[in-house]
Amino acid sequence: MKILGAQIASFNEQEALNHQKQFSYLRDQLGSKGVNVDRLIRKIANLQIAIPSWALGAGGTRFGRFSYAGEPGNLEQKLEDIGTLHALTRAAGAVSLHIPWDIPEDYSALRQQAAELGIVFDAVNSNTFQDQKDQEHSYKFGSLCHTSKAVREQAIAHNKEVIDIGERLGSKSITVWLADGASFPGQHNLRGALVNTLNSLREIHDYLPDDWRMFIEYKPYEPNFYSTVIQDWGTSYLLANECGDKAYTLVDLGHHLPNTNIEQIVATLMMQGKLGGFHFNDSKYGDDDLTVGSIKPYQLFLIFHELVYGMEQNIADNPPLAWMIDASHNVKDPLEDLIQSLEAIRLAYAQALIIDQTSLLAAQDQNDPVLAQEVLQEAFRTDVRPLLQEARLRSGGVLQPIAAYRQFQIRKQLISERGKTTVATGL
């Protein structure tokens, strides 16, 4: 599956006139407000989001999984799919590997394939939430938190191996998400489980190469329903501080109780220079892993407002963030779903970039909540899609990725290449 430059050019030609009309109107509007539109477009084009290697096939729920025809059957095909996404959107220039679902066989071939597709290897992900075939000790009752030293050591060794694999690919970070927790009161010594987790994480942290970072992800519940050892950002932040300079908190949008003020968490972590990464998805009730921006686009905009403010006023020296989509695709074509998520992320970013920060700060200083809301919503209600289109056009992508994906009949081609019954590894 390869998208040719000529295909992209001829698609863009069909849409060019319409785009030029919309873009020049928006450029004039923003220009009259003093926005440097070319600089804005460069920033949008530079925002690259990692695609996780497990998101290219159909996901499932605990009730069932409905396969999607033409799914990638191996890691090379997964990379190929990300290459397709990147060719269309120019926004998916990174992959996040999950070990052991996606252990490379030929490292140099894989690196070469990625380089040809313009894809870099972002954070690698460890997995101690499942038992693997031939594994000596079970993670049924936890991994890094486990009461047994042998189980903890096995889980630590796995994380070290993931770092080794990442090193060979050029990754610079590892994300640790633990399912560790208890489903019933009394099952865990809550303090003991946290102490074990901290000591295990310290050992992984101390194994990191000098230029690496470790991201500690949190989640309030599921798969355990009474307590999760790393339940919230505060616990993750505590652990990151205790581990040391290379440890950071990772925020996954779906890993909060309903109505949590996530933008405030972002502001707090960036104030401390401890926000490491971000997993994007959307939710109505819990960790629903839906398409980014499909349920609460205003919340996403408010989060990006804090991210942009934090990045521009980087007083605490927060490192550049690792961005990744962490969603599951149950009813949509996974590639179309990812295109929609990529678009929603850049949309929220662009809207946050055009907030009139000077007026907003003045309104805040004067305690004028009406004006503050007006300023925020002026940006949120501006249709910035022509900016995203222009960013894609300038970097060789297509003006309308979903329309192009359908016009190029990409899924049909994938089915003819791979068949109807391939199943991608992952959840």
Site residues, Mn ion (CB under 5 A): 252, 279, 326
Alpha carbon separation from 335 to 60, 82, 253, 329, 406 (Å, rounded): 16, 9, 20, 9, 11
Least distance in angstroms from the C-beta of 99 to Mn ion:
15
For Mn ion, the closer of residues 19 and 255 by Cβ is 255
For Mn ion, the closer of residues 230 and 399 by Cβ is 230
For Mn ion, the closer of residues 122 and 326 by Cβ is 326
Calpha distance 26→390 (Å, rounded): 11
For Mn ion, the closer of residues 8 and 266 by Cβ is 266
> Which residues lie closer than 8 Å to 406 by C-beta, 6 or more apart?
none
For Mn ion, the closer of residues 19 and 279 by Cβ is 279
Least distance in angstroms from the C-beta of 48 to Mn ion:
18
Tell me the chain's radius of gyration from C-alpha atoms: 22
Least distance in angstroms from the C-beta of 253 to Mn ion:
9
For Mn ion, the closer of residues 102 and 252 by Cβ is 252
Q: Are 340 and 297 in contact (CB under 8 A)?
A: no
Question: Which H or E run contains 141?
Answer: none
Least distance in angstroms from the C-beta of 52 to Mn ion:
8
Least distance in angstroms from the C-beta of 96 to Mn ion:
10
Calpha distance 52→419 (Å, rounded): 22
| Chain centroid offset of residue 426 CA | 16
Least distance in angstroms from the C-beta of 398 to Mn ion:
29
Least distance in angstroms from the C-beta of 173 to Mn ion:
14
Of 314, 263, 294, 342, the closest CA to residue 44 belongs to: 342
Which long-range contacts does 1-6 make (Cβ < 8 Å, 24+ apart)? 1/80, 1/81, 1/84, 1/410, 1/413, 1/414, 1/417, 3/84, 3/87, 3/88, 3/408, 3/410, 5/396
Of 279, 275, 287, the closest CA to residue 249 belongs to: 275
For Mn ion, the closer of residues 121 and 323 by Cβ is 323
Q: Structure tokens of 208?
A: 């990191």
Least distance in angstroms from the C-beta of 349 to Mn ion:
19
User: What value, to the nearest 5°, has the Cα angle with vertex 49 and ends 113 and 72?
Assistant: 45
For Mn ion, the closer of residues 81 and 326 by Cβ is 326
> Which residues lie closer than 8 Å to 189 by C-beta, 6 or more apart?
none
